[in-house]
Amino acid sequence: MNSSGIKRIGVLTSGGDAPGMNAAIRAVVRACAFHNVEVEGIFQGYAGLIAGDFKRLNERSVARILGRGGTILKSSRCKEFFTSEGRATAIEQMKKHHIDALITIGGNGTFTGAHILSQESGIPVMGIPGSIDNDLYGTDHCIGFDTATNTVVDAVDKIRDTATSHNRIFFVEVMGRNSGFIALKAGIAAGAIAIVLPEDEMTSEELMQILRASEESGKSSSIVIVAEGAKGGTAYELANKVAAENPDYDTRVSVLGHLQRGGAPSCYDRVISSRMGVAAVEGLLQGRKDVMIGIVNDRETYTSLEEAITRANLPNRDELRIARILAI
């Protein structure tokens, strides 16, 4: 299996945490143990890579973390790593600790740094997509997306009880600065009357038309799901516009925020994290580098980091059409 000559692999998590990152760390460490490769856990993401905050891990180091949210390796956003001086220090730290290859678990920013590091140093780098936004090209689902979406659906189901009891329109804002995946999937699953995405132009006038049609059909309460980066405005802005247009509407806003990042990972996230962690290690040992492991049509696949961060991963527009049909 190990045709690459790799004897020690470093693993880090970077950027926003996502449920399932610990499951991926566990899979990386245990796959390395299986293939007789040493593992250095790198704490605090790229900041720890620069500072040399490393700890040797073994199969017992990752016991009982499969179902834990967050990341035992901690995470951060490190501006210093995006300077040539910062990366030079990181490369020296890897050489000092005899790290032959690096696995990075994170999203777009994480992979941008990993790609630059790989290009500058020649060190084999493998990315594992961990992002609740699900915005990376080359995988059907990023680690954490399924759990985050289920968290939103559970919250909206609870909010709907209050909306129904008081005949209110609730505007629920979910994460997704540049990506509407959470909003779209959760909106369909929770029966939202309208879903406002960064990728879709919905004006306040169009939203008013939907709400009026709903009222005419006999609905007395509604849920509107708004992605935080929606072009039509934030949940507060849209709620204010609707209230100004029709003062009879009793509107409320709920911003779900960071609770979407936390919690125990779902079964699905645990499984794909485990699969990706093993495939990341085995890909490096086969000589792959500067790539991301993903799962497409239930098969592990490798995509260049450059392609993963530059090509758009867009929500299924037919699902948006379906959501509008079902909202009548």
Q: Hey, what domains does the chain have and what are their CATH numbers?
A: 8-144+265-310 (3.40.50.450), 145-261 (3.40.50.460)
Q: Which carries the bigger pLDDT value, residue 240 or residue 2?
A: 240
CA 261 – CA 69 distance, rounded (Å): 8
CB 170 within 8 A of CB 219: no
CA 296 – CA 231 distance, rounded (Å): 29
CA 256 – CA 156 distance, rounded (Å): 9
pLDDT confidence of residue 220: 76
pLDDT confidence of residue 148: 98
The DSSP call for residue 60 is: T
From the list 325, 13, 20, the residue with the least C-alpha distance to 187 is 325
| Mean pLDDT, the chain, integer | 94
Mean local confidence (pLDDT), 77-83 = 90
pLDDT over 80 (residue 274): yes
From the list 259, 268, 280, the residue with the least C-alpha distance to 26 is 280
CA 49 – CA 81 distance, rounded (Å): 9
pLDDT confidence of residue 96: 96
Instruction: Please give the positions annotated as active site.
Output: 133
The DSSP call for residue 102 is: E
Residue 117's Cβ-count burial label (10 Å; 0-12, 13-18, 19+) is: buried
pLDDT confidence of residue 1: 66
Q: How many CB atoms lie within 10 A of CB 170?
A: 24
Q: Which helix (H) or strand (E) holds 171?
A: strand 169-174
CA 125 – CA 106 distance, rounded (Å): 13
Residue 291 φ then ψ, to 5°: -135, 165
pLDDT confidence of residue 219: 77
CA 210 – CA 328 distance, rounded (Å): 8
310 is written with which tokens? Answer: 């530059």
Q: Which carries the bigger pLDDT value, residue 66 or residue 78?
A: 66
Mean local confidence (pLDDT), 49-63 = 96
Residue 196 φ then ψ, to 5°: -110, 120
Instruction: Summarize pLDDT for 107-161 with one digit per residue, the tens.
Output: 999 999 999 999 999 999 999 999 999 999 999 999 999 999 999 999 999 999 9
Furthest CA-CA distance within the chain: 70
Q: How many CB atoms lie within 10 A of CB 237?
A: 15
CA 54 – CA 41 distance, rounded (Å): 6
Q: Which carries the bigger pLDDT value, residue 144 or residue 166?
A: 144
101 is written with which tokens? Answer: 């290859």
